[in-house]
Structures are given as structure tokens and as C-alpha cells.
Chain A
Amino acid sequence: MRGGAFRYEFLQAYRRRSELVNPVVFFVMVCAMFPLALGSNAQLLAPLASGIVWVAAVLATILSLDQMFRQDFDDGILEQMELSEVPFYQIVAFKILAHWCLTGLPLVILSPLLAMMLYMPSESYLSLIVGLLIGTPILSLIGAIGAALTVKIRRGNIVLALLVMPLYVPILIFGSTAPLMAAEGTVPAAQLLWLGAILVLMATLAPITAALSLRANIYGS
């Protein structure tokens, strides 16, 4: 059942291929907006690059969160999953993992390309990628709580964004300053370790909290 939930997510995603690409396209487009608004000056863009990529990643994740549970909640599959003998939080954890694989991971893979387009200094690449690799799962985990809380709200998208965005602040700060530190020649160990610590905390708490929130929505009549 655990693996089944995971496979089910991928099958669903494969059947809605075009939706799958949307957050990635959005991510690239937002990144492309910044040079258009700020000017294409390399000196100006280089120090901003990591911030731009991170903000775009956060926005793209927020855009994709609403679909994490909604469809399954609406057609009752989620209720059936809750009733199965597997602990519900484990199924939720697998759903979050699948969400990250399908939206977070593509962003990480694309980020070097965008960093290059924004003239990011070459010393910063590694810390940007590692930071995103640790940070985007946190975005999915915290976002899952928000998505679970708003699953019953029609057009819950905006409420979800309002709820989740303040909670993304630490990840944004640690993630976007790591490449800046690397550009100055220091190893951004503190930032990445903090991201790691938050990831461990959220990986422990978020699936349980999201499961609790989904239950409140399923049984709240």
C-alpha cells in the first residue's frame, strides 16, 4: 500500500503530463521576468541571482501545492486511503515525497541553467543546487500542511499562499544567502546545516500534522 500510494501518484501525474510541466514553466518564466524588469546588466544581476531563483522556486511550489490533495479529496480516494490499514500519515508522507519528486526535483535540475542566465558566479553553483536540494523538500512538507488545511475550500489557492508564505521565510533566507557566502569564498556550512535541521524537523512533524488536518476535513462533515 505504501509503495502503491507512491506509484499511484506517479501514474496520476503521468496521465496529466501537461499539468506536470506547468510549475516548471512558471519557474523559468518568473526567472526571466527579473532581467526584463531590472535590466540585463551582469554586475547588477549576479548578486541577485540566487535570490531570484529562490523566490521563483518558492512561487512555483506554492502554485503546485493546491493540487497535492484536492483531486483525491474530492473524489473520495483520500477517505479510502484513510480507512486502509496503513497508518494515514505514512500515505501522506509518500504523497509529499511524490510531490517533491514531481515538482521540487525538476526545479533543482533546472536551477543551474537559470543561474547561468542570471550571471551567477561559478563558485555559487554548488551551494545553490545543494541548498535547493535540501530546501525544496521543506517547501513541499510545510506546503502539505497548508494544502491539507485548505483542501475543502473552493479556490483555496490564495488562502493557501497566505498561510504558507510566512512559514517559508527561514528557508528563503538560508537558501538564498548560501550562494552569496560561497561567492565571497567561504563555505556556507551554517546555512546548509540549518536547512538540514529544518528538513529533519519538518520531515518528522509535517506528515503527521498534514494527516491530522486532512482527517479534520474528511470527518468534519
Chain B
Amino acid sequence: MNWTWFHKWGSPKWFFQKTEALVLWFGFLCLILLVVGTVWGLAFAPEDIKQGNSFRIFYIHVPSAILAQSIFMAMAISAVVGLVWRMKLAHIFVQVAAPIGASITLLALVTGAIWGKPTWGTWWVWDARLTSTLIQFFIYLGIISLYQSIENRDTAYKATAIACLVGIVNLPIIKFSVNWWKTLHQPATFKLTEAPSMAAEMWVPGLIMLVGFYLFFAFAVLVRMRSEVLEREKRTAWVREYLEKKNVL
């Protein structure tokens, strides 16, 4: 198999030029999908029989909860790529994705709390899923603070990547233990009141929102990665050329 396509992505210049159009596409698409999904979900989707209008937060809560986990996965994979193939871009991805992941996780937690108040009667329950999401949020914060406190950039990249991998190895154990702890302490007090099969007009806007969230993540990561690449490579000729073309210099 020919691996040159893979190695080309290791070059910051190649990455910067190839993603120029991609960023715009991701940005427009996510904007359209998020607007369509939000309007459809909030205004046109039918009401839930049990929860009434309060279930509509589903359209933000569920995509953010799913995305929050995917980001961690992506960071871990990227960390492996960075450590094994010493690809700087992979390290940049990890560092750039971490704050986005943390904020999406926080969004999932906050929307969950807001949803919990009308349906469960409390803002916070020590439910297994809530607790493990909270701990995942803490892991994100730990990784971010580790990156920010190491002065040397290359060391910081490596350390963050290792911390990511340690986190991903521990995450299943944490999830399992929290699940297990839940069943031991309070046997099944709360169940998510989701109907097992949702009506199509209810889940389709949810799916649109989910895809919109993923595209938003791709967009935000690319924007941040591109600015990081520009800053890192500011002394090279191609960056100067690019800036001159843009009439910035």
C-alpha cells in the first residue's frame, strides 16, 4: 500500500493549503445543519407525551454527549499517531481539540442538569452516566492544565499525548466502576424516560443536529489548527508568502 498520502499530511504547509477550502465547507454545512436542526427540533417536532416540551433539550443534549466521547477517542488516536510517527500535526490536534472537548462535555452536563430539573425533579443526580461524564470532564481539565503548565512546547505535546492515552485506558474502568457503584448504592431509582422507539419526526432533527455538531467540531478544530500552524511556522517562507498574498504584511 502506498503511504505517501499519509505522510503528506505530516507537512504543515500541505495541511494548511489543503484545508483552506475545507474549513469554509465545514463552516457553511454546520451552520445550515445546526439552524435547520434547531428550528425543526424546537418548533416543528411533535411534543413528547410524557415530558411535553421539556424534552426538546434532547436536540442539544444528546449530540453534545455523543460528540464529547468521540472527541476523546479522536484525541487518543491522534496521540498515538503523534507518539509513534512523531507527527507534529497530530500533537497539535490533541492540544487544540482538548478545550473544545471540555466545553462540549460541559454543555452536555449543563443541558443534562436543565433537562433533569423538570423530568427528575433535581438538577443533579449521581446517576452512572452523569457521574462518568463528570469524571470525563475532569480528565479533560487535567489534560488542558498539563499542557498549559509545561513551558517547552515539544515536551508539552508529548506529555499531553501520554496523559490522553492514560486517560483512554482508564476511561472504561472508570465507567464500569461507576456503573457498578450506582447499582450497589441505589438500585435503579432513575431511568431515562426515553421511549425505546422514537417517532421518525422526532429523531430526524436529532440526527441532523448530531451531524451538525460533528461538522462544527471539524470546523472549530481546523480553524484552531490552522492558526496554530501559522504561528508555529511563522518564520518559514511559505507563511510569509501567504501573508503577503493576503495583504497582512
Asked if chains A and B come from one complex, the reply is yes
Chain A residue, CB-CB nearest to B176: A170
Q: How distant is the Cα of A209 from the Cα of B162 in the complex, in angstroms? A: 8
Contacts of B201 in A (CB 8 A): none
Q: Is the CB of A220 within 8 A of B154?
A: yes
Interface string of B148-173 (1 = CB under 8 A from A): 01111011001100110111011001
Interface string of A75-98 (1 = CB under 8 A from B): 000000000000000000000000
Known: A170-B177, A173-B180, A220-B158. A163 touches B135 (CB 8 A): no
Q: Is the CB of B162 within 8 A of A213?
A: yes
* Interface residue from B142, B152, B155, B166 paired with A209 (Cβ < 8 Å): B166
Q: Counting CB contacts under 8 A, is A156 at the interface?
A: yes
Stretch from A2-10, A21-29, A104-112, A146-154 forming part of the interface with B: A146-154
Q: Is the CB of A216 within 8 A of B159?
A: yes
Known: A159-B145, A162-B145. A152 touches B173 (CB 8 A): no
Give min CB distance, A55 to chain B, whole Å.
14
Q: Counting CB contacts under 8 A, is B178 at the interface?
A: yes
The secondary-structure label for the interface of chain A is: helix
Interface string of B98-135 (1 = CB under 8 A from A): 00000000000000000000000000000000000001
Q: Is the CB of B152 within 8 A of A213?
A: no
Contacts of A205 in B (CB 8 A): 169
Q: Is the CB of A153 within 8 A of B181?
A: no
* Interface residue from A149, A174, A221 paired with B146 (Cβ < 8 Å): A149
Contacts of B180 in A (CB 8 A): 173
Give min CB distance, A131 to chain B, whole Å.
14
Give min CB distance, B94 to chain A, whole Å.
14
Q: Is the CB of A153 within 8 A of B166?
A: no
Q: Counting CB contacts under 8 A, is A48 at the interface?
A: no
Give min CB distance, A65 to chain B, whole Å.
14
24 contacts between A and B (CB under 8 A): A142-B166, A149-B159, A150-B149, A162-B142, A162-B145, A163-B142, A163-B145, A163-B146, A163-B163, A164-B142, A165-B138, A167-B167, A167-B170, A169-B174, A169-B178, A170-B176, A173-B178, A174-B177, A177-B184, A209-B162, A212-B162, A216-B162, A220-B152, A221-B152
Q: Which residues of A contact B (CB under 8 A)?
A: 142, 145, 149-150, 152-153, 156, 159, 162-167, 169-170, 173-174, 177, 194, 198, 205, 209, 212-213, 216-217, 220-221
